[in-house]
Amino acid sequence: MSQPGRGAVSQILEGLAAGDRTAVSEALNLVDDRRPEQREAALELLDALAQRPTPHTPYRVGITGAPGAGKSSLLNAVVERLRDSVTGIGIIAVDPSSQRSGGALLGDRMRLSGGARESGVFLRSMAARDRLGGLADATQASAAVLSSVFEWVFIETVGIGQSECEVAQLVDTLVFVAQPGAGDTLQFMKAGILELPDLFVVNKSDTGPVAERTRSELQATLGLLGSADEGEWQPPVLLTSARDRQGIDALLEAMAAHQKHARQSGQLEDRRQNGRVNFAVESLARRYGEYGLAQIGGAQAVAQRLAAPSERSAFALVLELGREIESALTRR
């Protein structure tokens, strides 16, 4: 596969417009590339994509939860149900990677059943490690690429805590998948992550009464947290079995309901804006460091610049800000 240089950006764009999977893959390679010259090309690509209207209304869903909770299996069950009714599904699966070697075994594709594989679902696995400081940077860019081609984009991430906050900003709906098992809810509370998800799912309901118990516990805990303001979204707690394909329709309905709510309440726009700021800050900090970022007034200033009405995308702004930082640094 040829590494796209800047000249190749327009070629990739053409390919993406035609829905060509090789172009999708090359675009993902490009936005993941850390070489400075590729970085610029990537931002140009992303900017062009942001300017271009898509034939569909993109919808992004984050799926998160403890290792082995059944996120990938659930995703597979959802995809099986969805695949005939939407125009394209893309998945980003973020796997943890070894601290020591930086290597990673990416195994989520495994869980895609024959049906899901045949239907042309696009899946890219990424290792979390190299995305220093978090996922937002590379994942945001990858999600933008996939959203330009596929109507539904899923982002699967493992773990409880840090990664949720980041994923939350990338997606329209965040689904938290829990394992049946007593005591878990306490952990959720401690980790302080119960505030983020829009939907809770207790998977593996086929394992019996434990699942139902976990669900009520979770519901009770959420009730304690909930400030039941009028018109505010109340995250439901659902029971599913990815294995037996139980509760999948209800999950899809809940997603649809949340999507509608998020659009109408403006929550969606807020989140996307947050996501853009985070992306800009992270990618600038990664490239130029905290010191570089300080040259243009730090994260706060970045947020302001992004909030100002503009014809240009966040990606173009990052390019622009990058140039400002560079010239500030060379002036010294």
Partner 1 sequence: MPKTPHLEHPDRPWLIRTYSGHSSAQASNALYRRNLASGQTGLSVAFDLPTQTGYDSDHALARGEVGKVGVPICHIDDMATLFDQIPLDQMNTSMTINATAAWLLALYVAAAERQGVRPDTLQGTTQNDIIKEYLSRGTYVFPPEASIRMTSDIVAYTVEEIPKWNPINICSYHLQEAGATPVQEIAFAMANAVAVLDAVRAREDVPEETLGRVFGRISFFLNAGIRFVEETCKCRAMTALWSELGRERYGIEDERMLRFRYGVQVNSLGLSEAQPENNIVRIALEALGVTLSRDARTRSLQLPAWNEALGLPRPWDQQLSLRTQQILAYETDLLEYPDLFEGSHVVEAHTEALLQDARTELQKVLEMGGAVSAVENAYMKQALVESHTLRIRAIERGEQIVVGVNRFKETTDSPLTAQSEGSILKVDDSAEREQVERLQSFRSARNSADAEAALQGIADCLKNGDNILPASIRAAHAGVTTGEWADTLRRLFGEYRAPTGVGAARSISAGEDTDGLRARVEALSETLGRRPKILVGKPGLDGHSNGAEQIAVKARDVGMEVVYDGIRLTPEEIVQSARDEGVHVIGLSILSGSHGVLVRDVLERLNKEGLQGIPVIVGGIIPDDDAAALRAAGVKRIYTPKDFDLSRIMGDIVDIVGEAAP
Ligand X SMILES: Nc1nc2c(ncn2[C@@H]2O[C@H](COP(=O)(O)OP(=O)(O)OP(=O)(O)O)[C@@H](O)[C@H]2O)c(=O)[nH]1
Is 322 a binding residue for ligand X by CB under 6 A? The answer is no
Radius of gyration of the chain (CA): 20
Using the minimum distance from each CB to Mg ion, give the nearer residue, 66 or 143.
Answer: 66
Burial 275-289 (b: 16+ CB within 10 A, else e): bbbbbbbbbbbbbbe
Length of the chain: 332
Q: Which is nearer to ligand X, 202 or 321 (CB)?
A: 202
* Binding of ligand X by 62 (CB under 6 A): no
Residue from 53, 114, 183, 309 in contact with partner 1 (CB under 8 A): 114
In the beta sheet, which residues pair with residue 154?
61, 91
Instruction: Select from 69, 89, 146, 293 the one that contacts ligand X (CB under 6 A).
Output: 69
Nearer Cβ to partner 1 (125/219): 125
Instruction: Confirm or reject binding of residue 113 to ligand X (CB under 6 A).
Output: no
CA angle 126, 129, 131 (to 5 degrees): 80
**What is the rounded distance in angstroms from the CA atom of residue 332 to the CA atom of residue 328?**
7
Strands 152-158 and 173-178: unpaired
> What pairs with residue 100 in β-bridges?
none
Gap between the Cα atoms of 82 and 84, Å rounded: 6
Q: 245: alpha, beta or left, given left = phi > 0 and alpha = psi -120 to 50? A: left
Distance CA 274, CA 140 (A): 11
* Minimum distance, C-beta of residue 104 to ligand X, in the bound complex (Å): 12
User: Two tokens at 15?
Assistant: 């390919």
Site for partner 1 in 15-34 (CB under 8 A): 21-22, 24-26, 28-29, 32-34
The partner in contact with residue 73, picked from ligand X, partner 1, Mg ion, none with C-beta cut-offs of 5 to 8 angstroms by kind, is: ligand X
In the list partner 1, Mg ion, ligand X, none, the entry touching 97 (Cβ below 5 to 8 angstroms by class) is partner 1
Smallest separation, CB 116 to partner 1 (Å):
11
Q: In the complex with ligand X, which residue's Cβ is closer, 154 or 288?
A: 154
Residues that bind Mg ion (CB under 5 A): 71-72, 108
Contact string 149-168 vs partner 1 (x = CB under 8 A): --------------------
Do residues 228 and 194 lie in contact, with contact meaning Cβ atoms separated by under 8 Å?
Answer: no
Residue 260 engages partner 1 in binding (rule: CB under 8 A): no
Question: Which residues fall within 8 angstroms of residue 2, CB to CB, at 6 or more apart?
Answer: 8, 26
Chain position carrying tokens 């505030």: 195
Residue showing the smallest CB distance to ligand X in the complex: 70
Q: Could you say which DSSP state residue 18 is in?
A: T
Tokens of 210: 């434990």
If the CB atoms of residues 26 and 156 are measured against Mg ion, the closer one turns out to be: 156
Cα–Cα distance measured from residue 215 to residue 147, given in angstroms and rounded to the nearest whole number: 32
Stretch that binds ligand X, among 22-30, 112-120, 200-208, 280-288 (CB under 6 A): 200-208
What does the angle CA 197 – CA 203 – CA 208 come to, to the nearest 5 degrees? Answer: 140
Which residues in the 231-290 window bind ligand X by CB under 6 A? 241-243
- 107 counts as binding partner 1 under rule CB under 8 A: yes
242, interface contact from partner 1, ligand X, Mg ion, none, CB < 5-8 Å by kind: ligand X
Q: Residues in the site for ligand X, rule: CB under 6 A? A: 67-73, 108, 111, 158, 203-204, 206-207, 241-243
Q: Residues in the site for partner 1, rule: CB under 8 A? A: 1-3, 21-22, 24-26, 28-29, 32-35, 38, 68, 97-98, 100-107, 109-111, 113-114, 117, 122-125, 127, 130, 243
